[in-house]
Structure 1
Amino acid sequence: MSAVADILMHAYAMTPADCLAWRQRLDARDLRLLRDGGKVAGTLVSIRKGQWFGGRSVPVVGVGGVGVSPLHRGQGTATRLMTRLVQEARESGAALSILYPATQPLYRRAGYEQAGARYETRVQMSALEMGERTLSLRAIESRDEAAIAACYTSVARFRQGWLDRSEFSWGRVRNPRSEPVHGYLVEGSAGVEGYVYLARRPLKDLKQELALTDIVATTPAAARRLLRFLGDHHSLGTEVVWYGGPDDPFLLLLREQSYSVKVYMHWMVRVLDVVSALEARGWTPGLSGSLHLEVTDELFPENQGRFVLEVADGVGRVKRGGEGRLRLDIRQLGPLYTGFQSAASLRSVGLVEADDASVQAAMALFSGPQPSLRDMF
């Protein structure tokens, strides 16, 4: 663990206090080490969770904390780490692996590709005085955690790409590494209808901004009450910042466009198992169709070859064979799968080979809202 802390301090410029907080949050069973000559040369964290696609939770392995000792850089250490990680992740039964890249070439060599984005939303606090106080609001207590998790799930399952959170992910919401977080919930006749977790970040001249680690509302009244609560900080506050997608419904409640939305970072996906990935996700109810794929994958022979995807009644079924009319590498299957890039867009830059009918079929089957992520990991 001492060697891991040293690697992370070099890789991410983390302070000793940050490393200690990171270690306290980590389940040691999720830590992976690569040794060279008896010394720890590299490390990463493998985190089991789910990710929502089409209203169904797809089993994924998230990758974080990838670091290589300064003495072992430029020797293929990170590539060896990632190759072994995706092999282990596939063996565990996960359909996908996801990560935020510090550098893309490394992860592309392991079969990952951009497949969605995490967006930063900043709202001027003065725009949040919305006059809604009908629902009660109180501080969150430990006994509320199950109800809050259910509240989150009821929203996240309809947000393409959001996490089906593990305890690790909830820990990042409730207890981030470097700042105290306070939680508040909104209650109505049916119980918890919304909540927010926030940190107050000091600025100059006694001002502050509110940094939200999560905000969710399941009713219009709860959404307005939460925004009103955030607006009540305007005497000393400047902005409220949170993360999610480009289509955040909270912004539709604002009178003016007193906000900015920008890409914070693109995340990447690696399809570990073609068949299980396509069959695990949900599909648009009432939509039916078929797609003949031909996939190449240098790492997993099981993913190589031709597959036929048949979609009906919100369910996908995959069988071997077919005509292979849409040809792509495993990397390009990632952004197609999440809906981040259409088959037409991928074909336009030479990353997919397909006839027009197959492109149109793929665009219909994989259509939906832009995939996004709220959580870091």
Structure 2
Amino acid sequence: MSAVADILMHAYAMTPADCIAWRQRLDPRDLRLLREGGKVAGTLVSIRKGQWFGGRSVPVVGVGGVGVSPLHRGQGTATRLMTRLVQEARESGAALSILYPATQPLYRRAGYEQAGARYETRVQMSALEMGERSLSLRAIESRDEDAIAACYTSVARFRQGWLDRSEFSWNRVRNPRSEPVHGYLVEGSAGVEGYVYLARRPLKDLKQELALTDIVATTPAAARRLLRFLGDHHSLGTEVVWYGGPDDPFLLMLREQSYSVKVYMHWMVRVLDVVSALEARGWTPGLSGSLHLEVTDELFPENQGRFVLEVEDSVARVKRGGEGRLRLDIRQLGPLYTGFQSAASLRSVGLVEADDASVQAAMALFSGPQPSLRDMF
């Protein structure tokens, strides 16, 4: 692990204490090392999880902590590391791989492309006085974790791109690396109706910023109660910050547009298996149609060639063959798949070749809310 720590300190400007904390949080089974010349040349973390598309959880491998030894940079080490990772991920049965890029060219060489974003939302505490205190609010206890996970899932499955969280992801919500977090939940007649995890960050002039690692509500009353709870901190702070999508429904409950929403970082997707990825996700109920694809993939011959996608009753079937009317590289299939870019947009910049009928069919089939992520990994 000393070699891994040395790589991380150089790649991410981490301190020795940061590396120790990182190691303690990591399941050793998720660590991948690339050895060259008998020494550790590169490292990354491979995390199995799910990602919600069309109301169904698609098996994915999340990638984090990618780093290369200073002595091995500029020699293709990172490309070899990522190539082996996507090969392993496909063999494990994952349909997709996702990551947050520090640099895009490396990951594009491995077949990744921008496919969604993590948005930062900032709200003035003074705007959160909802006048709602009817529901009970209390501190979260360990016995509440299953109910909270169910509460999250009931919302996340309808948020395009959100994680079907593994224990790794929940640990980041409840125990982020750099600051203590406190959790509170709202209870109604049906049990847990919402919750929030927050950290208090000191600012200048003795004020605080409330940084939320998660906030979810399943009823209007729970949403108002949580917002009022956050607003009750206005004498101590100025802003509340959380992460998610560009269309956060909490913002519709505010009286004025006293908030800002901006892209924090784009995330990238690599389609590992064309057939399983298309068949694993959900599709708009009542929508049916077909699409003739022709895909190029330099790494996986199994993804290469023509496919016919047929969607009916929210279920997709993919078979080999067809006319290949919509032609694209495996990279461009990522943003099309998530709904981040339409077929028309991709065609307009030369990343897709297709006739108008195929473009319209693709736009209908892959339509939906903008894909986003709340979690980092």
Q: TM-score, normalised by structure 1?
A: 1.00
Distance (Å, rounded) in 2 between the aligned partners of 1:16 and 1:261:
34
Describe the superposition over 1:159-193 as per-residue Cα deviations: whole angstroms up to 9, x where unpaired.
00000000000010000001000000000000000
1:251 corresponds to = 251
Question: 1:21 deviation in Å?
Answer: 1.3
Question: 1:361 deviation in Å?
Answer: 0.1
Alignment map for 1:34-53 (pairs within 5 Å): 34-53=34-53
Question: 1:279 deviation in Å?
Answer: 0.1
1:152 corresponds to = 152
Say which is worse superposed, 158-167 or 35-44, in terms of deviation.
Answer: 35-44
Distance (Å, rounded) in 2 between the aligned partners of 1:24 and 1:154:
31
2:139 corresponds to = 139
- For residue 205 of structure 1, give the secondary structure of its aligned residue in structure 2: helix
The runs of at least 4 aligned residues of structure 1 exceeding 4 Å deviation read: none
Question: 1:15 deviation in Å?
Answer: 1.6
Distance (Å, rounded) in 1 between the aligned partners of 2:283 and 2:205:
51
- For residue 145 of structure 1, give the secondary structure of its aligned residue in structure 2: helix
Distance (Å, rounded) in 2 between the aligned partners of 1:354 and 1:204:
55
Question: 1:255 deviation in Å?
Answer: 0.3
Distance (Å, rounded) in 1 between the aligned partners of 2:23 and 2:224:
38
Distance (Å, rounded) in 2 between the aligned partners of 1:199 and 1:17:
21
Describe the superposition over 1:123-169 as per-residue Cα deviations: whole angstroms up to 9, x where unpaired.
00111011100000000000000000000000000000000000000
Distance (Å, rounded) in 1 between the aligned partners of 2:160 and 2:46:
22
Distance (Å, rounded) in 2 between the aligned partners of 1:314 and 1:350:
30
Distance (Å, rounded) in 1 between the aligned partners of 2:310 and 2:355:
18
Whether 2:302 is the aligned partner of 1:298: answer no
Distance (Å, rounded) in 2 between the aligned partners of 1:189 and 1:274:
44
Distance (Å, rounded) in 2 between the aligned partners of 1:75 and 1:181:
41
Describe the superposition over 1:237-276 as per-residue Cα deviations: whole angstroms up to 9, x where unpaired.
1100000000000000000000000000000000000000
Distance (Å, rounded) in 1 between the aligned partners of 2:322 and 2:369:
29
Fraction of identical pairs, as percent: 97
Distance (Å, rounded) in 1 between the aligned partners of 2:21 and 2:193:
32
2:73 corresponds to = 73
Distance (Å, rounded) in 2 between the aligned partners of 1:20 and 1:217:
35
Distance (Å, rounded) in 1 between the aligned partners of 2:198 and 2:14:
23
Describe the superposition over 1:303-350 as per-residue Cα deviations: whole angstroms up to 9, x where unpaired.
000000000000000000000000000000000000000000000000
- For residue 195 of structure 2, give the secondary structure of its aligned residue in structure 1: strand
Alignment map for 1:206-355 (pairs within 5 Å): 206-355=206-355
Question: 1:17 deviation in Å?
Answer: 1.7
Distance (Å, rounded) in 2 between the aligned partners of 1:36 and 1:179:
37
- For residue 171 of structure 2, give the secondary structure of its aligned residue in structure 1: helix
Question: 1:294 deviation in Å?
Answer: 0.2
Describe the superposition over 1:14-70 as per-residue Cα deviations: whole angstroms up to 9, x where unpaired.
122211111111000000001112111110000000000000000000000000011
Question: 1:93 deviation in Å?
Answer: 0.3
Distance (Å, rounded) in 1 between the aligned partners of 2:365 and 2:330:
18
Question: 1:108 deviation in Å?
Answer: 0.1
What residue ranges of structure 2 are gaps of 5+ in the alignment? none
Distance (Å, rounded) in 2 between the aligned partners of 1:143 and 1:77:
45
- For residue 375 of structure 1, give the secondary structure of its aligned residue in structure 2: coil
Question: 1:231 deviation in Å?
Answer: 0.3
Question: 1:356 deviation in Å?
Answer: 0.1
Q: CA RMSD in A?
A: 0.4
Question: 1:76 deviation in Å?
Answer: 0.5
Distance (Å, rounded) in 2 between the aligned partners of 1:301 and 1:132:
58
Distance (Å, rounded) in 2 between the aligned partners of 1:312 and 1:89:
29
Whether 2:368 is the aligned partner of 1:368: answer yes
Distance (Å, rounded) in 2 between the aligned partners of 1:76 and 1:370:
34
- For residue 89 of structure 2, give the secondary structure of its aligned residue in structure 1: helix
Distance (Å, rounded) in 2 between the aligned partners of 1:185 and 1:266:
30
Describe the superposition over 1:274-303 as per-residue Cα deviations: whole angstroms up to 9, x where unpaired.
000000000001000000000000000000
- For residue 59 of structure 1, give the secondary structure of its aligned residue in structure 2: strand
- For residue 75 of structure 2, give the secondary structure of its aligned residue in structure 1: coil
Question: 1:205 deviation in Å?
Answer: 1.2
Q: TM-score, normalised by structure 2?
A: 1.00
- For residue 206 of structure 2, give the secondary structure of its aligned residue in structure 1: coil
Distance (Å, rounded) in 1 between the aligned partners of 2:194 and 2:3:
42
- For residue 275 of structure 1, give the secondary structure of its aligned residue in structure 2: helix
Distance (Å, rounded) in 2 between the aligned partners of 1:257 and 1:281:
35
Distance (Å, rounded) in 1 between the aligned partners of 2:55 and 2:14:
37
Distance (Å, rounded) in 2 between the aligned partners of 1:18 and 1:185:
30
Say which is worse superposed, 4-13 or 105-114, in terms of deviation.
Answer: 4-13
What residue ranges of structure 1 are gaps of 5+ in the alignment? none
